[in-house]
Amino acid sequence: LAENPQVRYAEAASGDPLPEFLSVAEAKHLIAFLSNARPRPGVSGTRRDAHAAFTWQELRNRVAVALHLGGGLTPAEVRALTLDSPISRGGRVRDRLWKISIPANGDSPARETPIAPWAGELLQHWLQVRSERKIPGDMLFPSTATGKTWSKQSHYSTTRQLLADAGLDENEGGTFKLRHTFAMRQLRRGTAPEEVARWLGVEVEVMDRYKHVVSSPMEVVRGDV
């Protein structure tokens, strides 16, 4: 297990140095797959109420993956989030979650990073479900209904299975492939490398690894940050 890049780099801010990332089609597919877990008032028929079939654990898993893809967070950062982490103040739309506050970890200082609108909508639904179930504790993503902390192994296993369920090869980059996808899309949209590095919690020199990929044209997924 320790030989798997996703596990080996799970606690590192920079992660796997190889910038593997999702194609536009893969990213769109995964976003749609994850978004099935939230209410869809604009969709008709059975798809509108499909979210009701999800357990709270299944919803938690999808929202966690949404923060990897839609916010560039590492696995360790996702597990460390608290109920105070989601931020709605200062956004373009009142009361809409648009940013995440990430606690300090080791040498990495606390920081804030934007999240994609679709990821914010999933997160908002998760907060509602978590509140309705009266799950105790301060952890944003608890492991159990009693509020127990989500372990590294459990998080890894559930994420791996979720990506497989989505039809993606769970052995190719894992959550860091999603993190790289977030970074690539920001850079290709013209966001300054210094800003992207700050959002990712890494030194700006880390952005050099993306240069040879960013130089080629690629469609940007609409609806992402």
Q: Is residue 225 part of a domain?
A: no
Total of domains in the chain: 1
Q: Is residue 105 part of a domain?
A: yes
Q: Is residue 221 part of a domain?
A: no
Please state the length of the chain.
Answer: 225
Q: Is residue 224 part of a domain?
A: no
Angle at 89 between CA 179 and CA 31, to 5 degrees: 35
Q: Is residue 76 part of a domain?
A: yes
pTM score, whole prediction: 0.85
pLDDT of residue 5: 45
Candidates 107, 102, 126; CA nearest to 38 is 126
Which regions of the chain are under pLDDT 50?
1-3, 5-16, 225
E-state strands within 64-218: 86-87, 99-102, 111-114
Contacts 24+ apart (CB under 8 A), 73-76: 73/100, 73/102, 73/113, 73/179, 74/10, 74/11, 74/12, 74/13, 74/15, 74/175, 74/176, 74/179, 75/6, 75/10, 75/11, 75/152, 75/155, 75/156, 75/159, 75/175, 76/10, 76/11, 76/105, 76/152
Tell the residue number behind the tokens 């013209």, with chain if given. 190
| Whole-angstrom distance, CA of residue 127 vs CA of residue 88 | 13
Report how far apart, in Å, the C-alpha atoms of 2 and of each of 5, 158, 160 are. 8, 16, 14
Would you state the structure tokens that stand for residue 67, as one six-digit string? 């923060």
* Domain extent for 17: 5-214
pLDDT of residue 2: 45
Q: Is residue 115 part of a domain?
A: yes
Here the CATH number for the domain that contains residue 99 is 1.10.443.10
Q: Is residue 220 part of a domain?
A: no
